[in-house]
Structure 1
Amino acid sequence: MKIILPLSLGVFLIWYSIQSATPQEREELINNILTANPLWILLSFSLGTLSHLSRAYRWKFLLEPLGYKPRFINSYMAVMAGYLANLGIPRSGEMLRAATLFSYEKVPFEKGFGTIISERIADLLVLLIIVLITLAIQTEVLLSHFEASNINPILSIGILLLLITAGVLVLQFIKRSTWKIAVKIKNMAKGLLEGMRSILKMKKKWAFIFHTIFIWVMYILMFYVIIFTIPEMANAGLGAIMAAFVVGSFAVSASNGGIGVYPVAIGAVLMVYGISKQGGEAFGWIVWATQTFLVLILGGLSFIFLPVLNQKK
């Protein structure tokens, strides 16, 4: 269900987007994609590569306090192999990444996975900061859109708070329970917490923070430069780009690698800022294709060369 349902959602959105467009709109969408300047796409490709290299290098700052110093090439290929796995089975890449490091560097799975959780926490904090900044500079636009669409933001926040409360109650139940499955979860959690605490034991905290910021700056830049491939997007304001980036960051996890969902979501949010549906979706498709192609190439090469470069192990 994790594979079929998200993929079906993506395919449905692609079909619906095409069917709901007029022949002229479809032609304009395809023309925008085919006439995109490949130099900007290549630049976006390069910026994305830098972000992945930085992520692999940042990982060592979390592993060193635990007593492990894996080879950089193995860390990098584990990261890219994980990204590739996420295209097939959403959210499986983190487990594969930790398993890969266990196979080739003998880092215990729980500890390796715990450091990955630490990374995700750091990334989530940065994303939340970006969301808050975007909301702050775009409050008037968003509230006008909510009002026009009869969306109650207070109700949405209330539902989110209820879900968080339910999650806390479940965790408290597991913590106090003596059931076998609860005990297994608690033992697993201990290993995860040890990995997560490594962020507090780092000797090079500032280096970790620098790479975290660098990764997200590269994400935004690889997203931003694609606007120059679509004539209509060249005049898009910073607020529109940041709003599209935030929406895309969440939409990419809604289906396998964001297929179908990502470009449709990007096109929808850009329409709020006066960008045509076909122009916004073309921009979304080019961004998505660039990121996906990058993962397919580097992730595929990583799967091939991991066993080749570690033959002795």
Structure 2
Amino acid sequence: MLKKRIISVVEYLFFLGIGILLLWLSVRKLDLTAVWNDILEARYSWLFLALFFALVSHIFRALRWNLLINTLGYKTRLSSTFFAVMFGYLANTAVPRMGELARCGLLSKKEKIPFNALFGTVISERIFDLIVLAALIFFVVIFQLDLLGDFLNRNFGPLLQSMFSYRYSILILVLIVLATLGSIMYLVWAYREKIKKLKFYEPVRKFLDGLWTGIKTIKKMKQKSLFLF
């Protein structure tokens, strides 16, 4: 019992230390005096309103993640998921795009859920977000086509002309990339039996299987309407 308590304390201090480190990395280049002056001069009514809506959005994001995790067969508390999401935001301030890995790692440690499955659910989230973003961009382009054309001509006209003049170089580059990817895929398929005998094959296969299981959660999820909300 004492050993478990010591381990729990060490884990708590470890993650607390990581949090303090990330916080320091995120503010080390800020002028704290200027920040404090801005805080004193801020209109707190708008600040609290913004904080309220930000908090609500983060809670809904945690709920949405819970829907995907529940599809995996795990029951997670909202508080744990919410804390992991907020920890991910903190990690992003120190190392951009590290937040997704950080929140999956933290929740995996706390709730005993495979990391690869959790990361698969995050990929599902991002795929869904990308589809929504693409749909919004499509409608904006349709309804603001003239405005978009003027913007592109003013800001990217010379660049587009330059790219067009080097179209053959770009085409060759694309063909080289496609040929390289095709060659890699062919070699993997041709030597698949030998690859299966390698020591790292089974761990990699299990990791990818778990990742794919997490990605498929968005398809198997029962409460899709709530997820969309």
The partner residue of 1:42 within 48, 57, 73 is 48
The partner residue of 1:113 within 113, 119, 139 is 119
Displacement after TM superposition at 1:175 (Å): 5.8
The partner residue of 2:79 within 58, 73, 76 is 73
Question: Structure 1: where are the runs of 5+ without partners?
Answer: 1-6, 12-32, 211-313
Contact 1:115 1:195 in 2 (8 A): yes
User: Against the structure 1 CA distance between its residues 134 and 205, is the aligned structure 2 distance closer, same or farther, given a 3 Å change threshold?
Assistant: same
1: distance between equivalents of 2:65 and 2:219?
14
1: distance between equivalents of 2:77 and 2:162?
48
2: distance between equivalents of 1:94 and 1:52?
14
Which protein, 1 or 2, shows the higher relative CO under an 8 Å CA cutoff with sep ≥ 6? 1
Contact 1:146 1:153 in 2 (8 A): no
Matched, 1:207 2:226: yes
Residue 12 of structure 2 corresponds to none
1: distance between equivalents of 2:162 and 2:93?
34
User: Against the structure 1 CA distance between its residues 145 and 111, is the aligned structure 2 distance closer, same or farther, given a 3 Å change threshold?
Assistant: same
User: Against the structure 1 CA distance between its residues 175 and 90, is the aligned structure 2 distance closer, same or farther, given a 3 Å change threshold?
Assistant: farther
User: Against the structure 1 CA distance between its residues 38 and 152, is the aligned structure 2 distance closer, same or farther, given a 3 Å change threshold?
Assistant: farther
**Residue type of the alignment partner of 2:214:** G
Residue 10 of structure 2 corresponds to none
User: Against the structure 1 CA distance between its residues 117 and 134, is the aligned structure 2 distance closer, same or farther, given a 3 Å change threshold?
Assistant: same
Matched, 1:63 2:69: yes
Displacement after TM superposition at 1:38 (Å): 4.3
Question: Structure 2: where are the runs of 5+ without partners?
Answer: 1-24, 30-38
**Residue type of the alignment partner of 2:90:** L
Q: Deviations over 1:136-169 (max 9, x none)?
A: 233212211222232429959x97xx59x75993
2: distance between equivalents of 1:167 and 1:115?
31
| TM-score normalised per structure 1 | 0.48
CA RMSD in angstroms, aligned pairs only: 3.8
| TM-score normalised per structure 2 | 0.64
Contact 1:111 1:192 in 2 (8 A): yes
1: distance between equivalents of 2:76 and 2:140?
37
Residue 215 of structure 2 corresponds to 196
How many percent identity over aligned positions? Answer: 36
Contact 1:174 1:182 in 2 (8 A): no
Q: Larger Cα Rg: Structure 1 or Structure 2?
A: 2
1: distance between equivalents of 2:179 and 2:131?
19
Contact 1:174 1:186 in 2 (8 A): no
1: distance between equivalents of 2:179 and 2:69?
29
Matched, 1:169 2:181: yes
2: distance between equivalents of 1:45 and 1:153?
45
1: distance between equivalents of 2:141 and 2:160?
16
2: distance between equivalents of 1:53 and 1:77?
10
